[in-house]
Amino acid sequence: MSVIEVRELTKVFKIPKKEIGLTGAIKALFMPKYEQKTAVDRVNFQIDEGEVVGYIGVNGAGKSTTIKMLTGILVPTSGHARVLGRDPHKERVANAREIGVVFGQRTQLWWDLAFIESLNLVARIYQVPETRYKKLLDQFAEMLELKELFHVPIRNMSLGQKMRAELAATLIHEPRVVYLDEPTIGLDLIVKERIREFIKEQNQTKSTTVVLTTHDLGDIEELCKRVIIIDAGRLIYDGPIETIKQQFGKYREITFETIHSSERVTLPSGAETTHVEPRRLTVRFDRTLTTASQVAAALMNQIEVKDFSLSEPDLASIIKQIYNGALNREAA
Amino acid sequence: MIQSLRRNVSIYSAIASTAAKARLAYNMWVWADFFATIISMFIFVYFWRAVYAGETTLSGLTLAQTINYILLARLLAPLVETRTIYFFGYMIRQGQIAVELTRPLDMQLRVVVETFAELATFLVQRLPLFLLAWLIFGLQLPSNPAVWIAFFISLILGQAVLFLFDWMFACLAFYVTETWGLSVVRIGVGSFFSGALVPLVMMPGWLQNIAAAMPFAQAMSVPVSFLSGITSLADAPRLWTIQIIWLAALLILSRVIFSITVRKVTVQGG
């Protein structure tokens, strides 16, 4: 059953355009000029119950704007979104009861209150039955190591503590759909690991649907089977993470360290330089067209090589290629 | 129906007690406020004594009546200062509005509950000041419980009127994002026309008309006039009716304005 359905979803922001300086400010006061910025551009996708989907893109690609439309905060300019069969904006309160949202850089907890007091209030707002609440509290306390945080006010917490507290508060009413907007931003590896485990566990035991936006590809590799990539508001990829790996996995990279600087080298077909520095050269080649030894031999004939290394592409570099337009090139 | 009412009572009473607790988190602030209020009471009392030099009544008020009124107005003045307008601006500038709108709550009901819980906490915190005003300046409070009831009813109605009025202005934050200036102007105008600085009956007729056309007096002058003895109990039904009309009109208007302007929300910072 599909829980999230997005059709031709579009959001255009009207942004006041100001010239720099005092005269610019005065002009803007009397004759405001606006610029149209399309943050999300005719996006289509559908997410089923129990899926964990990575929603990725560079900063400003339109990820958060999409999430905000799905939570009912922003009204789409055109197209439509349905979450659990509802229009998220028109039925904002009903929608809010069944979803959970973490905005990585904000908090839904009360700044001055001890964490447990905030949590009690959140549970009350979502009308979590008393016995269920007690049970979940114990579970969460153990999984996220919250015991010693219960009596600490949010304002005194470290970033990692705050995020663990935030996640507990977001999932205490066992929402059917959870949006996590950069939940691991700025966290150390141990906290990241704990948070990923927690999300995975919630998804597996309760079939919670999770939409995750992140710049951390570790999150994606550990949690998501499917990714949706958007760039400049347009959906550019939607499919299994494996397909991406295979499609781009045919490339390998060799980095050469050379004695002298050399910018112009001739390479066998299927290979190209991707990165040039003085005395360092990175070459990417298609394994179906050429081989590592051919590339290396061709290069060694032209310049003196001190050292070289061969690397398998990780997801990070694949995503980087996609952002840089590799998908379009593939299609062409 | 009954079930949803019970649910709402349970949710919003929890929100009210949280707001009260959050306010109590800042104790230092209470002492600073005590000090500032005592100073302002001194200034106002000596000012009015000077104004009355040689006069027995002004606009039908004796010095004792005026001082009694002005002491109460000083004690309750923060009630006509708004936090709603600034709060909206802050929420929208910081992008916190995103979090607030993902809560399964009616935003207006939630903010009004928080505002009233804070006001109640504030009044309780200020009780020692009433005692001081009595000791130092001879503040007179009525002994008739009916007067107190009239005061509290008109205070609650008037504060609700003011809240809804501020709510409409606060919605401007969806367009301009910066509301600090707006809230400063609002507090200045509000203090003057609510009667927190000068009893309204002392103003020239045209100013009194302007004050009557604005909602500020409903939240300050009307209730305080009961307590200070300027208004008699016989006027209560008429004054309450006026307050209820204000309340009904502003309730409809403010909800319509919010539901239109909230569509404009552009959450700052991605």
The interface predicted TM-score (ipTM) is 0.82
Q: What is the pLDDT of residue A278?
A: 83
Low-confidence ranges of chain A (pLDDT < 50): 330-332
String of DSSP letters for A106-169: ---S-TTSBHHHHHHHHHHHTT--HHHHHHHHHHHHHHTT-GGGTTSBGGG--HHHHHHHHHHH
Residue B3: count of CB within 10 angstroms of its CB: 7
User: Are A165 and A221 in a shared domain?
Assistant: yes
Say if residue A224 is in the same domain as residue A325.
no
Closest CA to A60 of A220, A232, A212, A213: A232
Residue A266, exposed/middle/buried by CB under 10 A (0-12, 13-18, 19+)?
exposed
Domain with A237, as residue range(s), is 2-9+47-241
Model pLDDT for residues A230-244, shown as the tens digit of each residue: 888 999 889 998 887
**Strand intervals (E) in chain B:** 57-58, 61-62
Q: How many CB atoms lie within 10 A of CB A16?
A: 9
Residue A324: CATH number of its domain: 3.30.70
> Given A60, A73, A125, which is nearest B98 (Cβ)?
A73
Confidence check: pLDDT of B29 > 90: no
pLDDT at A200: 94
Pairwise CA distance, residues A293 & A298, whole Å: 8
pLDDT value of residue A330:
47
% of residues, chain B, pLDDT over 70? 98
Segment B189-207 mean pLDDT: 90
CB contact under 8 A, A74 and B15: no
Identify the CATH number of the domain in which residue A210 sits. Answer: 3.40.50.300
Residue A229 forms part of a structural domain: yes
What is the spatial distance between Cα A212 and Cα A56, in angstroms, rounded to a whole number? Answer: 8
B97 contacts on A by Cβ (under 8 Å): 73
- Same domain flag for A177 and A259: no
How does residue B150 score in pLDDT terms, banded at 50, 70 and 90?
A: very high
pLDDT confidence band for B151 (50 / 70 / 90): very high
Please, what's the largest Cα pairwise distance for chain B?
66
pLDDT of residue A106: 84
Q: Which residues of A touch B26 (CB under 8 A)?
A: 112
Q: Within this chain, do residues A64 and A111 fall inside the same structural domain, yes or no?
A: yes
How much is the pLDDT for B247?
96
Final residue of a structural domain among A208, A241, A274: A241
Answer yes or no: is A96 within a domain.
yes
User: Do A79 and A211 belong to one domain?
Assistant: yes
Q: What is the pLDDT of residue A332?
A: 42
CB contact under 8 A, A74 and B265: yes
Mean pLDDT of all residues in B133-154: 92
Predicted confidence band at B238 (pLDDT cuts at 50, 70, 90)? very high
Query: pLDDT at position A313, please?
Result: 64
For range B236-252, the mean pLDDT? 96
Identify whether A144 is part of a domain.
yes
Residue A272's pLDDT is what? 84
Pair A60, A201 in one domain: yes
Question: Which pLDDT score is estimated for B13?
Answer: 94
Distance CA B61, CA B66 (A): 6
A282 CB-contact burial (10 Å; exposed 0-12 / middle 13-18 / buried 19+): middle
The number of domains in chain A is 2
Residue A26 counted as domain residue: no
Residues of B with Cβ-Cβ distance to A71 under 8 angstroms: 98, 101-102
> What letters, b where the CB count within 10 A reaches 16 and e where it falls short, cover B104-135?
bbbbbebbbbbbbbbbebbeebbeebbebbee
Domain boundary, last residue among A241, A264, A296: A241
pLDDT digits (tens, 9 = 90+) for A105-115: 788 998 888 99
CA B67, distance to chain mean position in Å, is 21
Confidence grade of residue B269 (pLDDT, cut at 50, 70, 90): very low
Q: Which long-range contacts (CB under 8 A, 24 or more apart) does B76-79 make?
A: B76/B196, B76/B220, B76/B223, B76/B224, B77/B191, B77/B196, B77/B220, B78/B33, B78/B122, B79/B119, B79/B122, B79/B155, B79/B159, B79/B219, B79/B220
**Integer Rg of chain B from CA:** 20
Is residue B102 within 8 A of residue A96, CB to CB? The reply is: yes
- Residue B38: its pLDDT value, please? 92
Indicate if A161 and A59 belong to the same structural domain: yes
* Best residue in B101, B177, B261, B262 for a mutation probing chain A (most A CBs within 10 Å): B101
The reply to whether A313 and A259 lie within a common domain is: yes
Report the relative pairing of strands A177-181 and A251-258 from DSSP bridges. Answer: unpaired
Last residue of a domain, one of A206, A241, A276: A241
Q: Rg of chain A over CA atoms, in angstroms?
A: 24
Dist CA B245 CA A67 (whole Å): 41
Residue type at B10 in one-letter notation: S
A97 plus A181 within the same structural domain = yes
Whether residue A222 is found in the same domain as residue A327: no
Q: Across chain A, where does the E strand assignment appear?
A: 2-17, 33-48, 52-56, 78-83, 99-103, 177-181, 209-213, 226-231, 234-240, 251-258, 271-277, 280-286, 305-311
Residue type at position A58: V
* Cβ pair A214, A54 in contact under 8 A: yes
Asked if residue A185 belongs to a domain, the reply is yes
Residue A206 domain-assigned (yes or no): yes
Taking an 8 Å cut-off on Cβ atoms, the answer to whether A105 and B25 are in contact is no
Q: Which two tokens stand for residue A297?
A: 């031999």
Burial A189-218 (b: 16+ CB within 10 A, else e): eebbebbbebbeebbeeeebbbbbbbbbbe
Kindly tell me if the per-residue pLDDT of B237 is higher than 60: yes
Residue A273, φ and ψ in degrees, nearest 5 = -80, 135
Q: What is the pLDDT of residues A265-313, one digit of tens each?
A: 888 888 888 888 888 888 888 877 888 888 888 888 888 888 888 876 6
Search chain A and give the residue with CA nearest B21. A113
Q: Is residue A225 situated within a structural domain?
A: yes
Q: Which of B239, B220, B213, B234 is nearest to B70 (CA)?
A: B220
Whether the Cβ atoms of residue B6 and residue B98 lie closer than 8 Å to each other: no
Q: How far is B19 from chain A (nearest CA, A)?
A: 9
Residue A40 resides in a domain? no
For residue range B222-233, list pLDDT tens digits in order: 999 998 888 889
**A110 reaches B (C-beta below 8 A):** yes
Amino acid occupying residue A105: Q
The 10s digit of each residue's pLDDT in B41-95 is 999 999 999 999 888 888 888 898 899 999 999 999 888 887 888 888 888 888 8
Cα A87 to Cα B141: distance, rounded to the nearest angstrom: 55
Contact residues, chain A, for B14 at CB < 8 Å:
120-121, 124-125
Helix, strand, or coil (residue B137): helix
Give the residues across from A276 on adjacent strands.
Answer: A281
